[in-house]
Structure 1
């Protein structure tokens, strides 16, 4: 058996005994497409992003999440950097994500969980294009698109925002925040209960 102490490659595919790719390691010149049912469901997606990382695939060869990271800096010294680790629902988008985003010192990072419908994302994207290309009115298109993508919402987030606030936020099935716990940049804690319209129903400490 060959043994290597060091290998320099631009892309590495880990396959199972049937030849199905189960893991890809890649640089920013070899970013893999988003594959479901053997098809690239989002042509051009990620291809120009300054990222490297790894992608995970199930036994059917569908993408099921991955780790991506990267950064860019312009001639004036402005920079952005980011990283994301995701795990996807079967034939859908991510349901768990840990991410970090920074732009010129302003940082957002945390952990999120999502709801996804029990549908095939590839088929949903096809339906989305059919609706957008139809001759229906803009209002009808919006209604149908909202119905199509219903159920794709973030349900919980724990992290820190660009203002320096540490947040735990729980949302309802429509993605509307309903409970929010915060320790702000001044170390002042608060807890809020909200209705579906974003109005605060109850707050701790209560307003004087």
Structure 2
């Protein structure tokens, strides 16, 4: 006859073997795919197996701040809905945001922005559209970011403090001090878009951001090509009247 001590020993061993079997079978079981007809969420985080956030799809209320090396930092100046893209290291490197509303005066506003960033730098390619009432601007731009440093959380926080200041001499002084501390920045190298005056322009610039060639069609439909020197002076023009 089995004693109570032997019974509990056998019982414990059987439970242990059963648990190990469940764990091993579960570990070998392939990942399950689930299909939905509809899903309603506030935010979706796409992460790597190690937990690194690679993409966020979110509403305005849950939209993240800025990611830097796998950690999220607050951005009080970010008011967006859309997607945020991160690189393999968990640092922001682009996004797609959009929105639209009517203000208290009945004026309509809408915007859309798609951008891709350089490694730990700011945006290098931008497709953007903005409208305020009857005024509309749509453009595509290629940029260079010549900052000799990364866009760290400290960099962002200091700029947010400047932007949050009320207009006036103190804000101007703070902005100048910030730009002195962080020299360089985005240099627009190429621009193609519709201006608020309803003209369409292609602008090509040198490495210093100086406009050197401008091809445009004015709001009256007249085409024109201007060549400029380094000081911005037009040195040659070609228009429909040029012979």
CA distance in 1, matches of 2:209, 2:37: 49
The count of corresponding residues between Structure 1 and Structure 2 is 197
Match of 1:3 among 25, 35, 38: 35
Structure 1 or 2, whichever has the larger Rg, is 2
Asked if residue 173 in structure 1 is aligned to residue 232 in structure 2, the reply is: no
Is the alpha carbon distance of 1:184 and 1:155 closer, same or farther for their aligned partners in structure 2, counting shifts above 3 Å?
same
Of the structure 1 ranges 141-150 and 158-167, higher mean CA displacement relative to structure 2 is found in 141-150
State the match for 2:64 in structure 1.
32
Mapped to 2, the partners of 1:60 and 1:113 lie a distance apart of 24
Which of 166, 187, 195 is the matching residue for 1:161?
Answer: 195
Distance change >3 Å, CA 124–CA 182, structure 1 → 2: farther
Determine whether 1:92 maps to 2:121: yes
Once residues 28 and 43 of structure 1 are traced to their aligned partners in structure 2, the CA distance between those partners, rounded to angstroms, is 13
Tell me whether 61-70 or 198-207 shows the greater mean CA deviation: 198-207
C-alpha RMSD over aligned residues: 2.8
Structure 1 unaligned regions, length at least 5: 133-137
More helix by percentage: 2
1:17 corresponds to which of 40, 49, 54: 49
Please identify which structure carries the higher strand content.
1
Q: State TM-score, norm by structure 1.
A: 0.83
Contact 1:151–1:174 (CA<8 Å) still a contact in 2?
no
- Aligned mates of 1:17, 1:41 — CA distance in 2: 22
Q: SS in structure 2 opposite 1:121?
A: coil
With over 3 angstroms needed to count, the CA separation of the structure-2 counterparts of 1:124 and 1:76, relative to structure 1, is closer
Q: Distance in 1 between matches of 2:55 and 2:42?
A: 14
Residue 220 of structure 2: which of 179, 186, 192 is its match? 186
